[in-house]
Structure 1
Amino acid sequence: MPAKILFILVLASLAGCATVNSTVPDGGASSAATQSAQLAQEKAKQAEQRLAAVAGQRASAERQFCPNWQQALLRARNNAIGCARMPVNAQSTCWQAVAQWTNEESQYFHALQPLFAGSPYARPSGHAAHFFDLAQSWAMTCENGSEACTQANGHQQMDQEKIQVNHFCSH
């Protein structure tokens, strides 16, 4: 009888060892898999949040695009008229300020292009950016006097860009 008890105890202890050894790796693998799955879920959630934020920014920028364009276009017209009406000795400084402002507008519309990628607003934002690139160049030419201003090239191209954006914004 004592041999049977000893034999059962040895078997029980070996079975316990076998059980402990087999559950530790499985438990560790299971834990690692769970952590990996949780990390993947967190990353997916963060990606969804970023996409939602970009979609929100895009929607807001789309709503503001045409009003911002129209306001900028009006300001560009008023700035040009204002500089042309100034005394000759003050015009250069005025045109420098207009060139700086049109550069800022150009940068704004250029910055919208990646945000609008794949949307109907992508092309109009490119046209608006190009319009202000041309307007900046024209304003810089006008710094050299009214004769240089009237003889400057680019008016026709500016008009084409403006027509494209105005057409888009009228629909």
Structure 2
Amino acid sequence: MPAKILFLLFALTLSGCASLPPSSSSNATASAAARGTALANRNSETAQQRLAAVAAQRAEAAQQFCPNWQQALDHARSNATGCAQMPTNEQATCWQAVSQWAQEESRYFHALAPLLQSGAYAFPAAQAAHFFDLTQGWAITCQNGQRACAAASGHQQMDNSKSAINQFCRR
């Protein structure tokens, strides 16, 4: 009989353990887990918003690439013609300005290249940046006079880049 009493007391003790309220450490753990989940959800939402913004920027850049290229190319032609028609003593200053302008255009197209890196515009954007890098170098050479300008290297590379971009933009 004493074994039965001992067993009964043991059983009552175990059932009492099961009905104890949760400890404060398990409440803290649950609270920390809830905060972690909320933070993860906010981070995920922020990441999705950023991806959507980049996708919108990419679409806008792709849509504007060919018009911006054509405008820059027209401006480059106009600049070159204008400098060539200036009096000889003013040409160096003109070509210096063209070189600075070409550098700005190069920066613009270099900045587009990573944005457009995964699409059809990746190659044309890189070619446009290369074209304006070459244009800048050519304009620097032209500061030394018309002979230096005519003898400057890079014309073929500039023409190749320009043709590739124009062909892309015509399709």
TM-score class, shorter: 0.7 to 0.9
- The yes-or-no answer on 1:19 pairing with 2:20 is yes
> What is aligned with 1:131?
131
The one-letter code of the counterpart of 1:33 is: A
The one-letter code of the counterpart of 1:80 is: A
TM-score (structure 2 length as normaliser): 0.88
Per-residue deviation at 1:19?
A: 1.9
TM-score (structure 1 length as normaliser): 0.88
Q: C-alpha offsets along residues 64-84 of structure 1, whole Å, 9 cap, x if unaligned? A: 100000000000000000000
Per-residue deviation at 1:23?
A: 4.3
Per-residue deviation at 1:28?
A: 2.0
Query: Residues of 2 paired with 1:54 and 1:85: CA distance?
Result: 44
Query: Residues of 2 paired with 1:167 and 1:38: CA distance?
Result: 51
> What is aligned with 1:154?
154
Query: Residues of 1 paired with 2:162 and 2:34: CA distance?
Result: 57
> What is aligned with 2:142?
142
**DSSP-derived class of the 2:96 partner:** helix
**DSSP-derived class of the 1:92 partner:** helix
> What is aligned with 1:101?
101
Per-residue deviation at 1:155?
A: 0.7
Query: Residues of 1 paired with 2:129 and 2:114: CA distance?
Result: 12
The one-letter code of the counterpart of 1:19 is: L
For 1:1-171, what aligned pairs fall within 5 Å after superposition? 15=16, 19-20=20-21, 22-171=22-171
**DSSP-derived class of the 1:19 partner:** coil
CA RMSD of aligned residues (A): 1.9
The one-letter code of the counterpart of 1:110 is: H
Query: Residues of 2 paired with 1:117 and 1:134: CA distance?
Result: 21
Query: Residues of 2 paired with 1:46 and 1:71: CA distance?
Result: 36
**DSSP-derived class of the 1:136 partner:** helix
Per-residue deviation at 1:29?
A: 1.8
Query: Residues of 1 paired with 2:96 and 2:20: CA distance?
Result: 83
Query: Residues of 1 paired with 2:165 and 2:111: CA distance?
Result: 16
- Structure 1 consecutive aligned stretches of length 4 or more whose deviation exceeds 4 Å: none
Query: Residues of 2 paired with 1:104 and 1:25: CA distance?
Result: 61
Give the total of aligned pairs. Answer: 159
Residue segments in structure 2 that go unaligned for 5+ positions in a row: 1-11
Query: Residues of 1 paired with 2:26 and 2:117: CA distance?
Result: 47
Residue segments in structure 1 that go unaligned for 5+ positions in a row: 1-10
What percent identity do the matched residue pairs reach? 55
Query: Residues of 1 paired with 2:23 and 2:68: CA distance?
Result: 65
